[in-house]
Amino acid sequence: MTSFRYALRDTFRLLFRHWGLSLLTLVTAASVLYILGFTGLFSLNLRQMISRVEGGLVVQVFMKKGQNADPVVALVKTMPTVTSAAAVSPEQALEKLRAKLGNQARAVTLLGENPLPWSVEVQVGRAEQIAPLVRDLIAVPEVEEVLYSGKLVERLTTISRAATTASGTILVLAAIISTLVIFNTIRIAIYSRREEIEVMLLVGATRTYISLPFVIQGTLLGAGGALLAIAGIWGTYASIMNAVRTSLPFLDIIVDRRTLLQFFLLLFATGATLGWVCSWLAVSRFISRASRAK
């Protein structure tokens, strides 16, 4: 407990005695976390837009004459990729047809007996899950025909895969760059106090005693940087939201405050964790080198 008290005091000494370096670390952390956070938010939005389009895709399964939809409903219920499946009776199908035809609805009466079969409308979460689903459905003996927008699905699958890969890559790159920049800035801060650390080692300070102020300082600067980045991202994103609402209202970007709050909490935790891990790594490496007997 006493050591922790000293560590806290030394943390604030570190922060204010070398305020220039602290400020540099804070600004660096804020900048890289801003880029990281914005990349993340962009990826989330892209993923949401694609998901919305993908979620709207419907596979229509038509049963053979005289067959009801039970075998297909039973089958799709066992498939984890299926998000919804609704059986449509011939009567419901006829009603839908009438509604679609509008003014020409009377033409339907010319058909006499309802010629429409039982069908099932199946939805999946991702476009790439449609092809295997269609293969399974066609194999069901009671199924007459399976209809879906093949070309659109293929294109969406390609776009979705490319978007996932691109945003994932950018995110990973941004994370690596953020880690390296924060790590090196903290390393410079530690290096500027090498003399003090060496003396501490020589007078018998433990590694934990020496590291703790640096680790607390790194965590605080990481968290502080994240707060600044969040403020910056929020400011920018709010203006983007306003612009999109006015100029591109069909664009489905994330506006849900709960989702945004969760995202910002994650960014805050990332900043604090990055600061903690980077400072711990940097100070541990430094102490290991400094305390290695020659």
Partner 1 sequence: MDIRMAGVTKVFDQDIVALEDVHLSVDSGEFLYLVGTTGSGKTTLLRILSREYIATRGQVTVGDRNLRKIGRSELPFYRREVGVVFQDFKLLSDLSALENVSFALEAMGLPPRIVQNRANEVIDQVGLWRRRFLKPPQLSGGEQQRVAIARAMASSPSVFLADEPTGNLDIRTSEEIMKLLLSINAAGTTVLVATHDRNMVDAYRQRLVELHNGRIRRDERRGRYLLDDEL
By CB under 8 A, name the binding residues for partner 1.
2-3, 5-6, 17, 195-196, 198-207, 209-210, 291, 293-294
Least distance to partner 1, CB of residue 162, Å: 50
Least distance to partner 1, CB of residue 6, Å: 5
Buried-state track 214-242, b at ≥16 Cβ within 10 A, e below 16:
bbbbbbbbbbbbbbbbbebbeeebeeeee
Nearest Cα neighbor of 65 from 6, 137, 144 is 144
Which CB atom, from 199 or from 248, has the smaller least distance to partner 1?
199
Which CB atom, from 116 or from 287, has the smaller least distance to partner 1?
287
Which CB atom, from 106 or from 294, has the smaller least distance to partner 1?
294
**C-alpha distance from residue 124 to each of 12, 59, 160, 165, 219 (Å):** 54, 9, 14, 21, 43
Least distance to partner 1, CB of residue 215, Å: 16
Least distance to partner 1, CB of residue 155, Å: 60
CA dihedral 166, 167, 169, 171 (to 10 degrees): 160
Which CB atom, from 56 or from 204, has the smaller least distance to partner 1?
204
Least distance to partner 1, CB of residue 46, Å: 48
Nearest Cα neighbor of 18 from 239, 188, 208, 215 is 188
Which CB atom, from 3 or from 165, has the smaller least distance to partner 1?
3
User: Which token pair is 182?
Assistant: 């924060």
DSSP-based three-state secondary structure for 173 = helix
Measured between its terminal Cα atoms, the distance across the chain in Å is: 34
Buried-state track 177-202, b at ≥16 Cβ within 10 A, e below 16:
ebbebbbebbbebbeebeeebeebee
Least distance to partner 1, CB of residue 13, Å: 9
Least distance to partner 1, CB of residue 191, Å: 16
Nearest Cα neighbor of 28 from 161, 208, 175, 226 is 226
Q: Please, which residues have CB within 8 angstroms of residue 223's CB and are 6 or more apart in sequence?
A: 268, 271, 272, 275
Which CB atom, from 100 or from 289, has the smaller least distance to partner 1?
289
Amino acid letter, 278: C
Which CB atom, from 254 or from 290, has the smaller least distance to partner 1?
290
DSSP-based three-state secondary structure for 249 = coil
